[in-house]
Structure 1
Amino acid sequence: MAQQVTDATFSDEVLRSDKPVIVDFWAEWCGPCRMVGPVVDQIGEEYGDKVKVLKLDVENNPATAMKYGITSIPAIYVFKDGEVAKQTVGARPKAALEQEFAEFLK
């Protein structure tokens, strides 16, 4: 299961990571977020040697969500070398996410 990241830990866990980081921006009340959550967890389990997978609850961590302009969730961002490298918004099936983020999962 993907680890939680917070406003306080975001810089260390994501921006300073030595490998790409997939961050799932979500909220408890968001139905599509609950649908895509297990898919994100599976990607983390399967590709954990290549990417780090984390989840950020936008309700409890508004500073980070605001910093990255998160207005629609679920939003899934890939960070590489401290920068946003790719992003997608909305619930997607696993195959679509794997294709979207293929360059980071190789």
Structure 2
Amino acid sequence: MIEVNDENWEEKVIKASKEKPVLVDFWSPRCGPCMIIAPVLEKLEQEYNGKFILAKLNVDENPETARKYEIMSIPTVVLFKGNEQPAGFIGARTESFIRNFLDKQL
């Protein structure tokens, strides 16, 4: 898992996603559901063994990127894969929902 911010977003997410999908967790420390979903995403990153990079962006500290991607609710999870249209979901979803999402997208 990597932390990303407004300054390194282009390199760590956009450019990196051309080599390997990057799953971004848009979150905030003041968000209860964000704290619930975070360990699930980290567990799945380990289980999927390098099939994607998990990145976390704190929307409170990085409002520019959150605005650019029109993040209105958190947690919002978005998968970036090269030039493909990003896909994602909003809210603290179940592990099985997230696993199904990843299986379809990867």
Alpha-carbon distance in structure 1 between the residues aligned to 2:85 and 2:28: 20
CA-based RMSD: 1.3
Per-residue deviation at 1:49?
Answer: 1.4
Q: How many residues align?
A: 104
Q: Structure 1 stretch 37-46 or stretch 24-33: which is displaced more?
A: 37-46
Distance 1:33 1:76 in 2: 10
Q: Secondary structure at the match of 1:16?
A: helix
Unaligned 5+ segments in structure 1 are none
Q: 1:59 to 1:75 in 2, by over 3 A?
A: same
1:16-55 alignment to 2 at 5 Å? 16-17=15-16, 18-55=19-56
In 1: Cα distance, 2:84 partner to 2:69 partner: 11
Q: Equivalent residue of 2:43, what SS?
A: helix
Aligned positions of 1:1-106 closer than 5 A:
2-17=1-16, 18-105=19-106
CA contact (8 A) 1:15 1:83 kept: no
Unaligned runs of 5+ in 2: none
- TM-score, length of structure 1 as denominator length: 0.91
Percent sequence identity over aligned pairs: 38
Moved over 6 A (4+): none
